Structure 1
Amino acid sequence: MTEHSPPSRILILATGGTIAGQMNARSASGYDAGNVSVQDLLHHVPNLPETADIHAEQIASIGSQNMNDALWFALARRIMQAFEQEDFDAAVIIHGTDTLEETAFFLQHVAKSQKPVILTGAMRPGGAPGADGPVNISHALKVAASPKARERGVMVVFNETIYDARTVSKINTSEVNAFTSVNGGPAGYVDTDRVYFVTPAAPPVPLFSLPEHESLPCVDIIYAHSNMDDRLICHALADGVKGIVLAGIGDGNASDTALAALDRAVAQGVHVIRASRVGSGLVKRNIEVSDDIRGFNVSCDLSPHKARILLQLLIASKTTSASAIRQAFAGAYL
């Protein structure tokens, strides 16, 4: 099989998002997400692989701000079913950009196959000047069809760039170059001629089975700031959360008052992960905060929202020892 003879079976799962949006008259750039069907989207995609058997399904029609556990589970189950039954060689997920990186990270930890799963979307809806959705879908299909993408699992393709699910982050509210890999770099690139990777495949990650219920354990993100008190932490504990991720200042720090409240959380059996609200860098153990003494864990390179997902999966799988959590978060950094 050559670069120009793609696999014959690619599953497209559409969830809505800006890429499926329609312009709205409320402002010059206004639009309503998720109004265009996947079949209509595909009519505008250039360079669809003519020899591929592309099967498209509409899983949802939402803006990705409304992405939820039930839809995550539906996506994961459909992908695993398609791969286990040998129905498809790759999957492409059309998704809104706001939570795209979270869905990619979730699927990376539950989709038990190294067949390519490619997520893409758009920053400009159809009908807008410079709409980027059609070419992003075309490039996502090209990566999904490439033999080079095998054994790389879940990736994001956006603006001619390929990103690993662990490191990808949205960094811009409205420009078409909205994604980057903050603590690493692109995994590769795609254009009209070819797909090429510039990094080896990402190291293996912990894999989890989906919980029996259609939801994950409750884990809250608490955002740190100057003059921070303990009210939000106390409310989270009163609500019965199973875990708290601190989106801390600097290297994952917070006020003495907030840290004391997190000490109480640990004493009540709540798992605490220190992450950072800063856009890049690693959160390391025992730098300004005595993690070993307090019973905290750290997010390492993960953003607060990805740390939340990993902690939810760990708790759901009853992988809750301090050493197991530390291993899962540190990954290749240990």
Structure 2
Amino acid sequence: MTQAHLLVLATGGTIAGVAGSALRHDYRPGQIGVDDYLEQVGALGLEARLVGRQIANIGSEDIEPAIWTRLHEEISAAFADPHCEGVIVTHGTDTAEETAFLLDLTLPTAKPVVLVGAMRPADAVGYDGLRNFANAVRVASDPEAAGRGVLVVMGDRVFAARDVRKVRTRGTDAFRGFPRDAVGLVTPSALDWFGAPWRAGEGAQYAYHAELPEVPILYVYGGIAADAAARLTSEVTRGLVVAGVGEGNMPEPLRAELVRLRESGVTVVRASRLDEGLVDREPEDDANGFIAARALNPQKARILLQVLLANGIGDPAAIQAAFDRR
């Protein structure tokens, strides 16, 4: 079997973390460099030629646009390299879904791009990182992985960036997909896809912009003050995502304030603080001028709104259509 040539872009996270004890709960993410990690991986006998590049070595709670830009640049260069057949990004799990979704929106689908992480540090009992990485190599080496957008591999399952979300703080089965669950099952020796590629031959959906507009997330809770949105926004705020209760609901005084905010030029998106469920467009959204997030959770709704606004898409109907396509 011909070995696939894969680029590994390392950003740190638990997969490169160390606790100093096999039994400790606390640990330091991003302690193992990509060269040392690939040396460990070499003992697995994977059928791939791996070239590593260190982009960052952080916990993913510290991810920032500058790192996204570097990843986008490196992956775009890999797409133009005829010798590179796929890209793996090692990443912390806390914000993996946001990085994956941003890249999914702004990259073509010609080659596989796979994000992978771990829930346990490298020196913990039951470390899942090496198996997850071996699974990611299996996925990124498969030509059928192209045309599916950016993928996330965790716990023997393959998720599409549009669906994946972290749902647990502990345990190796910490990721789920919504509204579509896993798009494939993978082990280091086998890969099964659930259906054919759905984005074969597509270019990037939107242009990548290193400077993204300011879009905060407002979390709704019982007893929230009407001026909470005003205290969260400033003159540079371009949009606001509301993590509402239930189907994106909010108290009437807050709704009235958000309408005033929208009338000042800020795009308002209604999402839900719940883990699963659609936020459909309601008749009141027309009167309020709000956007319904549909299947996207607040953090992904924020990413999509930032990308749309950065690309000059500000018409509410066009924004709603983009959310409806997710």
Q: Shorter-chain TM-score: which interval?
A: over 0.9
Q: Is the 8 A contact 2:112 2:143 kept in 1?
A: no
C-alpha separation in 2, matches of 1:87 and 1:5? 13
CA deviations over 1:211-236 (Å, ceiling 9, x no partner): 2xx33100010001111112320123
C-alpha separation in 2, matches of 1:176 and 1:291? 39
Q: Is the 8 A contact 2:239 2:305 kept in 1?
A: yes
User: Counterpart amino acid of 1:322?
Assistant: P
Could you tell me which of 145, 152, 156 is aligned with 1:156? Answer: 152
C-alpha separation in 1, matches of 2:102 and 2:277? 21
Could you tell me which of 184, 189, 209 is aligned with 1:188? Answer: 184
Partner secondary structure for residue 82 of structure 1: helix
Displacement of 1:48 after TM fit?
4.1
TM-score (norm. length: structure 1): 0.92
Counterpart residue number, 1:122: 118
C-alpha separation in 2, matches of 1:138 and 1:39? 16
C-alpha separation in 1, matches of 2:158 and 2:128? 15
C-alpha separation in 2, matches of 1:197 and 1:284? 30
Q: Is the 8 A contact 1:41 1:134 kept in 2?
A: no
Higher alpha-carbon deviation: 33-42 or 155-164? 33-42
TM-score (norm. length: structure 2): 0.94
User: Counterpart amino acid of 1:10?
Assistant: L
Q: Is the 8 A contact 2:217 2:241 kept in 1?
A: yes
Q: How does 1:157-176 map to 2 (within 5 A)?
A: 157-176=153-172
Q: Is the 8 A contact 1:164 1:202 kept in 2?
A: no
Displacement of 1:86 after TM fit?
2.4
User: Counterpart amino acid of 1:49?
Assistant: L
User: Counterpart amino acid of 2:242?
Assistant: L
Displacement of 1:327 after TM fit?
1.1
User: Counterpart amino acid of 1:325?
Assistant: I
Partner secondary structure for residue 115 of structure 2: strand
Counterpart residue number, 2:291: 297
Could you tell me which of 228, 236, 242 is aligned with 2:238? Answer: 242
Could you tell me which of 271, 277, 290 is aligned with 2:273? Answer: 277
Unmatched runs of 5 consecutive residues or more in structure 1: none
Q: Is the 8 A contact 1:237 1:265 kept in 2?
A: no
Q: Structure 1 residues 41, 191: CA separation in 2 closer, same or farther (over 3 Å shift)?
A: same
Displacement of 1:24 after TM fit?
4.6
Q: Say whether residues 1:49 and 2:43 are aligned partners.
A: no
Partner secondary structure for residue 320 of structure 2: helix
User: Counterpart amino acid of 1:294?
Assistant: N
Counterpart residue number, 1:207: 205
Counterpart residue number, 2:137: 141
Displacement of 1:29 after TM fit?
1.2
Count of matched residue pairs? 322
Displacement of 1:202 after TM fit?
4.2
Q: Is the 8 A contact 2:226 2:253 kept in 1?
A: yes
Displacement of 1:30 after TM fit?
1.3
Unmatched runs of 5 consecutive residues or more in structure 2: none
C-alpha separation in 1, matches of 2:63 and 2:104? 16
Counterpart residue number, 1:309: 303
Could you tell me which of 174, 177, 180 is aligned with 1:178? Answer: 174
User: Counterpart amino acid of 2:313?
Assistant: T
Q: Say whether residues 1:80 and 2:76 are aligned partners.
A: yes
C-alpha separation in 1, matches of 2:217 and 2:30? 27
Partner secondary structure for residue 325 of structure 2: helix
CA RMSD of aligned residues (A): 1.8
- Fraction of identical pairs, as percent: 37
Q: Say whether residues 1:230 and 2:226 are aligned partners.
A: yes
